[in-house]
Structure formats: structure tokens, C-alpha cells
């Protein structure tokens, strides 16, 4: 919960804008500022104070304890010009909150954390528990000193500029080891603990068994990703409470699924009780991986709990990212976040150039030229299979005539795949032209490099006969100059010569150009590969110089008095 505190009318107005935008995330604290800050500090995990930074510092000073536990605090000035990350930048989430608040209020985020200031991913912001000399190793990274990465298992980390060997080390491990004086331990969520329990098993017995099993196996409790059990035990109080105290989710599986998992230690007791010869081992192995701790029972007499531990393999992550039509303000926040998260970026060289300033230090960039789409897709999937966090970029929307299709054709279920939508060329061009896509519409690529012309022509004819607005991608190049006239001729057999046609080149880019013509008046020689051509249907009109396709609502055709 985010606590909101203000002391003036201007501050209250900005505060109320946040409260209205985030009704489920925020709580307004009224009354004197000092009392409000103290109450919010005790009850919330983050605060936004619409107060001067000096006043906020004085109010916070007696409350501050441990930066790992204190809430993050953001200050917004009286004029709403700046959102300042004051304390708890990383651990308290204030840096991220400052950016969110600034975006909502139209302010400038002010973040002075050293790593954030230079675009470096902080070791305590990688999404994994970090132990050891975080400040010292972070300083070494900032100073350009060599910091080596020792990964005991592959895990998709955000970009960090690691070197081969150095005096400082970051070790990715789920083993219960102590960090050295110049070392940071990162704990991947690699351990799955399968749990079985008799009815009424105390939480202390369940939790004690888990902790003992991990300790004797030399494994860190901070790498436990989840507890797993059979559906019949989904509400068993001792298991539910143990997951809560560990701060991990409880995952359950049907008995028949667990019965199909091969285990080393089946038993008749759980088969009779819940319908599977194994609960702890089968539930842990259900996610795949290596059995590190076979089934063991608690020390109580009679034993009421069992557990088993599996190390699941790290899964690479492939984000297929649409960059939009080219303008930076049409790059979505989600796309920008994925670019910052990726340790490997794969893309066409000219698209990489568009977002090169967003690439974080330590990101490995694999770029290639035109005509290498399949190679880029294979490369991105191969890098993800190595355990990396990969971003595969394309213009517009990655799923529309772009990289998502060849990448997903290469990928299997051994990696995680995330799609990040982008603004397509058709949408960007449509916004420039007016509202040509106001009713049913279709996009057709006229490139016959991958699709036979006979198939393309059949699709154009179907759209023409169905009276659907058509947007042509890849309409004409130096080596393909006859396809667009042929497609226009097909449409002309079903539409009047005066049908509006919109032509937009480099939509949203600095050299954007657009014109509105007609089906009879379009000269195909004025079109190239950077152009999108939108042909209206029989209802499309030129209204005040804008291309408009009506929705077809009845009121649009009704007499004036009947509306």
C-alpha cells in the first residue's frame, strides 16, 4: 500500500490525482503532516509526500531504521515539477515509484542512486535475493573494475557488465554458503519443496522439517521458489501456514497427475489416503529437475509431515518486443522495460539504432542486416536456451509481419516466451489519415518473397469482394514494382474510382509524409517500402480532408429528427 500525505491545497490536489488513478494501491492520510507521516510509515510499504524535501527529512529521521525494511519515500514539490526518490530507492521501491508518479503527474523523476543514474542495473534490483558486499561490488561496477560472475546454474539475469576475472565476484547459487568479503551471493528461485502432511499437522512440524532438510543438504532457504503438494492438501493449515512463513506460493496438483510421476520412494499410505503413491517427491518432481533430497519424514512420533527437495533447471526468457512505428513516444513503457531487462538483444541493425540509447551497460547486442529474419529468430531462441534474458526486437508490433512468428516457430516449451505488443504501421498510418479503420479491415503484405503471388492475389480478391478496408504492407520496391498495380486493379473491380486511398510514408517519424487520394488517382510509382497504403471500402469518405470509414451505426443514417 502507498501512503499519500499532503499539507497544502496544491499538494492535496496532486495527491487526489494519484488516489483516483490508483484506488487499490493508495491510502490517503489526513491531519497534521507529522502524524500522517508516522502513521503511513508504520502501515505502508511506500509513501508519497507532497511536502518539501527538508520537511520530509525531518519528519522521517526519527523513524528510519533499516534500509532493507523501511518503506520507500518519494517527495513531490508544491508545483508538481519533480518526483524525488528520497529514501529506499532500491529496497523500498522509491526509484521505481518516482518514475510512476512522475509519469502520472507530468513531473520529472529525480533519482540519485548511483547505479540508476548511469543506467546500471543495481545488484539489489535483479529480482533475486542478494547477500554480502552489495555496496562494495556495486561501487566496483560503477568504477569500471572487473567483477566476475560465477553462475552455478543458468538463470536469466538482467544486464550487468561482468568481466572474466576480477577481485570482486557475484555468485549465483542456491547453496548455503557464506559470501566472501568482496562477494555478492544471488539466490535464484531454483528449489521446489514437495510437502505431504497428515490432517492437523502443526505448522512448526512442517516448517521445521523443511528447514532441517535444506540445512542438511547445504541448500539456502532463500532459493525456495514454492511449496508443492496434492490438491487434497490445498487447505491443510500446517502446509498453508508454512508457505506463508517462507513467503512462497503453494502449488497443488491433482492426485492422478502425481500418480503418473515416477518416484524412488512410493508408498501405500498416501495412495490409500489421497489417491497417489507419492505426494512430497511427486509434487516436487512434477516441475521437472533433479531430486536433491528424497522423501524424508519429520522427527515427531508419529511423524505427520514429509518433504522432498528438487532443483529445477533455470529457464531462459525470450521477450519478443514491438518497437512501434519509430517515434520514441510510441514505444510502450512495457517495451522499454523489456529492453532494460534483457542481457542479450537481437535485432535488425537499423532497429537497434533506434533504441541504442535505452540499452543498459552489459547488454550483449547481436545485430544483423536485412533479409536475416530466420537467422535472428534462431539466434534469439538459442540464446534463451542458454539461460539468458533475451529481447528480440522488431518494428511496429512484433506479431504483425515481424519477428514473433519465426521466433515462436523455433521455440519449444523449454524457455519462457513473453510477447510485448507495439503500435503497428497500419495503426500509426490510420491515425495520421483520420479514421480509415473505423469498421472491418484487413492488412495484406504484397511481398511475394515468402508467399506466392497467387495466394496474395486470392486474399486481395476476397477482401475486395467482402468490401473490407485494406491496408497494404510492403507495397512496392525496386525489384517488385508490378504487385501494387495488380492489387489495385483487383480492388477497382469492386470499388468506385473515387474510393478514398490514404498513402503514408514513415508514419510517426521526423520525415513523415501523408496524402489522401483516390483509387483512380493513386500513382504506384510514388510508393515505396517505407509506405503504407490504405484503401477504403464503399462507405469510406473524405471528410474535411480526413479519411473516415463509418462504424455503420443506425443513427449515422437516420433522419436528423430521429437521432
Q: What are the pLDDT digits (tens) for 367-397?
A: 998 878 899 999 999 999 998 999 999 999 9
Check residue 561 and give its pLDDT.
Answer: 44
What pLDDT, in 10s, does the model give residues 193-213? 999 999 999 999 999 999 999
Give the pLDDT band of residue 562 (cuts 50, 70, 90). Answer: very low
pLDDT value at position 49?
92
pLDDT(559) > 70: no
Helices (H), 342-482: 349-354, 373-385, 404-410, 425-433, 453-465
% of the chain exceeding 90 in pLDDT? 63
Most confident stretch, 66-70, 136-140, 330-334:
330-334
Q: How confident is the model at residue 558 (pLDDT cuts 50, 70, 90)?
A: very low
Share of the chain above pLDDT 70, in %: 96
Using the predicted structure, report yes or no on whether residue 128 has a pLDDT greater than 90: no
Whether 557 shows a pLDDT value over 60: the answer reads: no
Kindly indicate the confidence band of residue 554, based on its pLDDT and cuts at 50, 70 and 90: low
Which sign, positive or negative, has the C-alpha torsion 535, 536, 538, 544?
A: negative
52-61, 315-324, 373-382, 422-431: the lowest-pLDDT one: 52-61
* Grid cell locating 511: 520525415
The pLDDT score that the predictor gives to residue 553 is 58
129-143, 322-336, 372-386, 417-431: segment of lowest average pLDDT: 129-143
Cα dist from 14 to 69, 79, 114, 184, 452, whole Å: 27, 9, 28, 40, 58
Helix (H, G, I), strand (E, B) or coil at 107: coil
Pairing assessment for the beta strands 546-548 and 434-435 based on DSSP bridges: parallel
pLDDT category at 96 given cuts 50, 70, 90 is confident
Is the pLDDT score of 556 beyond 60?
no
pLDDT bracket for residue 308 (50, 70, 90): very high
**Would you state the pLDDT for residue 430?**
96
What does pLDDT average to over the chain?
Answer: 90
Residue 129's pLDDT band (boundaries 50, 70, 90)?
Answer: confident
Residue given cell 532459493 in the structure block: 223
Run of H or E including 217: helix 203-217
CB 243 within 8 A of CB 319: no
Mean pLDDT of 470-487: 92
Looking at residue 70, what is its pLDDT?
Answer: 87
Closest Cα to residue 504, out of 547, 448, 544? 547
Q: How far apart are CA 258 and CA 248, in angstroms?
A: 21
Statement: residue 115 has pLDDT above 80: no
**Highest averaged pLDDT of the listed ranges 91-95, 500-504, 508-512:** 500-504
- For residue 372, give the C-alpha cell: 536475416
Per-residue pLDDT band at 121 (split at 50, 70, 90) = low
Residues 543-560, buried b or exposed e (16+ Cβ, 10 A)?
Answer: eeeebbbeeeeeeeeeee
Which of 90, 11, 9 has its CA nearest to residue 48? 11
Tens of pLDDT, residue by residue over 420-462, are 999 999 999 999 999 999 999 999 999 988 899 999 999 999 9
Interval 557-562 mean pLDDT: 47
Indicate yes or no: pTM above 0.85.
no
Average pLDDT value for residue range 522-527: 94
What's the N-to-C CA distance of the chain in angstroms? 47
Residue 304 pLDDT greater than 50, yes or no: yes
Q: How confident is the model at residue 88 (pLDDT cuts 50, 70, 90)?
A: confident
pLDDT exceeds 80 at position 263: yes
Amino acid at each position: 500500500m502507498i501512503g499519500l500525505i499532503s499539507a497544502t491545497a496544491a499538494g492535496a490536489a496532486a495527491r487526489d490525482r494519484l488516489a483516483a488513478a490508483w484506488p487499490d494501491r493508495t491510502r490517503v492520510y489526513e491531519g497534521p503532516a507529522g502524524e500522517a507521516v508516522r502513521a503511513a510509515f508504520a502501515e505502508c510499504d511506500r509513501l508519497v509526500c507532497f511536502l518539501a524535501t527538508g520537511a520530509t527529512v525531518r519528519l522521517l529521521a526519527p523513524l528510519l531504521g533499516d534500509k532493507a525494511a523501511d518503506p520507500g519515500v518519494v517527495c513531490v514539490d508544491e508545483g508538481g515539477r519533480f518526483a524525488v526518490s528520497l529514501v529506499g530507492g532500491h529496497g523500498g521501491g522509491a526509484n521505481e515509484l518516482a518514475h510512476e508518479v512522475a509519469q502520472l503527474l507530468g513531473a520529472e523523476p529525480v533519482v540519485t542512486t548511483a547505479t540508476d543514474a548511469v543506467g546500471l542495473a543495481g545488484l539489489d534490483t535483479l529480482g533475486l535475493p542478494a547477500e554480502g558486499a552489495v555496496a562494495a561490488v556495486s561501487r566496483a561496477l560503477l568504477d569500471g573494475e572487473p567483477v566476475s560472475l560465477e553462475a552455478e546454474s543458468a538463470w536469466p539475469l538482467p544486464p550487468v557488465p561482468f568481466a572474466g576475472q576480477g577481485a570482486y565476484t557475484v555468485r549465483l547459487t542456491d547453496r548455503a554458503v557464506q559470501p566472501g568479503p568482496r562477494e555478492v551471493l544471488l539466490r535464484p528461485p531454483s528449489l521446489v519443496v514437495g510437502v505431504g502432511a497428515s490432517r492437523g499437522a502443526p505448522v512448526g512440524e512442517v516448517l521445521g522439517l523443511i528447514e532441517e532438510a535444506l540445512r542438511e543438504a547445504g541448500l539456502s532457504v532463500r532459493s525456495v521458489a514454492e511449496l508443492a503438494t496434492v490438491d487434497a492438501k490445498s487447505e491443510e493449515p500446517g502446509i498453508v501456514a508454512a508457505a506463508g512463513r517462507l513467503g512462497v506460493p503453494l502449488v497443488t496438483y491433482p492426485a492422478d497427475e502425481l500418480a503418473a510421476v515416477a518416484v524412488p520412494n512410493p508408498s501405500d499410505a498416501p495412495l490409500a489416503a489421497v489417491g497417489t503413491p507419492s505426494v512430497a517427491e511427486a509434487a516436487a518432481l512434477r516441475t521437472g529437475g533433479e531430486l536433491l533430497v528424497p522423501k524424508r519424514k519429520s522427527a515427531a512420533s508419529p511423524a505427520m509431515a514429509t518433504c522432498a527437495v528438487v532443483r529445477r533447471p533455470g529457464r531462459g526468457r525470450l521477450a519478443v518486443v514491438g518497437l512501434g512505428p519509430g517515434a520514441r513516444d510510441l514505444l510502450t513503457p512495457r517495451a522499454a522495460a523489456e529492453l532494460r531487462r534483457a542481457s542479450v538483444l537481437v535485432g535488425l541493425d537499423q532497429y537497434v539504432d533506434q533504441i541504442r540509447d535505452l540499452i543498459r551497460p552489459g547488454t550483449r547486442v547481436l545485430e544483423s542486416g536485412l533479409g536475416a529474419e530466420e537467422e535472428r529468430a534462431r539466434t534469439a531462441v538459442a540464446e534463451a536456451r542458454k539461460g539468458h534474458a533475451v529481447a528480440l526486437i522488431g518494428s511496429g508490433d512484433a506479431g504483425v509481419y515481424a519477428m514473433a512468428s519465426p521466433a515462436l516457430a523455433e521455440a519449444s516449451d523449454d524457455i519462457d516466451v513473453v510477447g510485448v505488443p507495439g503500435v503497428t504501421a497500419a495503426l500509426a498510418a490510420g491515425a495520421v489519415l483520420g479514421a480509415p479503420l473505423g469498421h472491418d479491415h484487413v492488412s495484406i503484405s504484397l511481398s511475394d518473397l515468402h508467399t506466392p503471388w497467387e495466394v496474395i492475389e486470392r486474399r486481395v480478391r476476397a477482401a475486395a469482394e467482402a468490401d473490407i478496408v485494406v491496408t497494404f504492407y510492403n507495397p512496392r520496391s525496386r525489384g517488385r514494382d508490378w504487385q501494387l498495380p495488380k492489387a489495385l486493379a483487383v480492388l477497382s473491380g469492386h470499388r468506385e474510382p473515387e474510393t478514398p486511398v490514404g498513402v503514408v510514408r514513415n508514419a510517426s517519424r521526423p520525415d513523415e509524409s501523408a496524402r489522401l487520394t483516390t483509387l483512380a488517382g493513386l500513382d504506384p510509382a510514388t510508393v515505396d517500402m517505407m509506405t503504407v497504403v490504405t484503401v477504403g471500402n464503399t462507405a469510406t469518405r473524405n471528410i474535411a480532408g480526413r479519411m473516415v470509414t463509418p462504424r455503420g451505426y443506425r443513427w449515422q443514417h437516420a433522419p436528423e429528427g430521429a437521432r
